[in-house]
Amino acid sequence: MPEFSLKSDPLVSHGRHFGRTVFALCNYPSLLTNGILCLEQLEDATLEDFFIRERREHRVFEKLLDSYPGLLERLREGSEEEILHVGELIGKGASAARGEDTKSLKPVVIDWIVPAGEVILPPLPRNSKINRGFNHPLTHLQSGVISVSGDQWPLFLYANEAYDPEDPWNGLLRTCLLINAFRHIFTSPSSVDREPKATRAGNARLHGMTAVTGASIAYVTTQVRFALCSSSVFSRTDTATDSETFYHSLLDLLEDPDEQGEVTDLLVWWNYQIFPTSSAAKGTPKTNSALSKIRQKCATALTAASIS
């Protein structure tokens, strides 16, 4: 298939947004193949019968189906080659978007971490990563020599780089650095300075995005972590940066049913920063509102039913 037709295929465009907002590090041909097989197996089983990794993969598959009308029919009616081709198109979009974001964040992340008007010694060149990672006190992440596992989170994830072991949620994922990176990727690079100058719509507007997702926070955070490290090539399987483990560890937290109270508050905070006029930024209804009272009555009834 000619290159120009691949770039213009709507599945490529969809893959770009899906990777950024739902699931970034994925082998899409395998996801589709396994997803179709799982649908057949679910006729005689439940999703809880599968391993945790398989359950997550199938939930991603279902989100992909929900986000692209007609995709399930295309997969069911298509040959094995067609399924693989569809997966390759989606993966092409996700990979291209990830590569573009990695490249564009590399220089600007230095601007965001260097205090205005200060001279940094040793210097941190915008277009070189040699002095980043553990090689510099401002980045202090992993280098090619020292490695940190992906489930060990760096301090830049916390507001004011302050981690509270008694309350690990305090300030988690609420930093200006992450907000800047999110705006840079999803709205426009110029929106970081709150004075948009872009002449074309940003990625969020192009795809009708009006609310921040947990996966988009995990994606941006993973990109920032990589931008601050000294590794030059982003790779899912790179054991030095361990980006895949890091990304999944954030998703595990943000998708944990037991943490949804904290996650909801976090998303309200993020939506206020990114989409302040959207309903997602408004949070929960006031306690004296009709909606709040309806929900409270429903919750009380459910509690009573469970006790009886």
| Domain that includes residue 58, residue range | 3-94
Is residue 162 situated within a structural domain? yes
Shared domain for 205 and 242, answered yes or no, is yes
pLDDT digits (tens, 9 = 90+) for 210-262: 999 999 999 999 999 988 887 777 766 665 668 899 999 999 999 999 999 99
Residues 99, 192: one domain? yes
Between 15 and 132, name the one with better pLDDT: 15
pLDDT tens digit sequence for 68-126:
999 999 999 999 999 999 999 999 999 999 999 999 999 898 888 887 777 777 777 77
Q: Tell me: do 130 and 231 sit in the same domain.
A: yes
CA 7 to chain centre: 23
Asked if residue 117 and residue 68 are part of one domain, the reply reads no
Cα torsion 224, 229, 235, 237: sign: negative
The dihedral sign for the CA sequence 195, 185, 225, 166: positive
Structural domains counted in the chain = 2
Q: 299 lies in a domain? A: no
Residue 190 lies in a domain: yes
Long-range Cβ contact pairs of 153-160 (< 8 A, separation 24 or more): 153/246, 153/249, 154/225, 154/228, 156/224, 156/225, 156/228, 157/221
Q: How many CB atoms lie within 10 A of CB 207?
A: 18
Position 198 confidence tier, pLDDT thresholds 50, 70, 90: very low
Domain for residue 188, yes or no?
Answer: yes
| 118 Cβ neighbours under 8 A, 6+ residues apart | none
What pLDDT is recorded for position 110?
87
Do 115 and 53 lie in one domain? The reply is: no
Say if residue 142's pLDDT is above 50. no
Q: In the chain, pLDDT over 90 holds for what percent of residues?
A: 52
The verdict on 122 and 79 lying in the same domain is no
pLDDT average, residue stretch 6-35: 91
Residue 158's identity, in one-letter code, is Y
pLDDT tens, residue by residue, 35-54: 999 999 998 888 888 888 89
Q: What is the pLDDT of residue 1?
A: 40
- Distances from the Cα of 93 to the Cα of 19, 97, 100, angstroms: 8, 6, 11
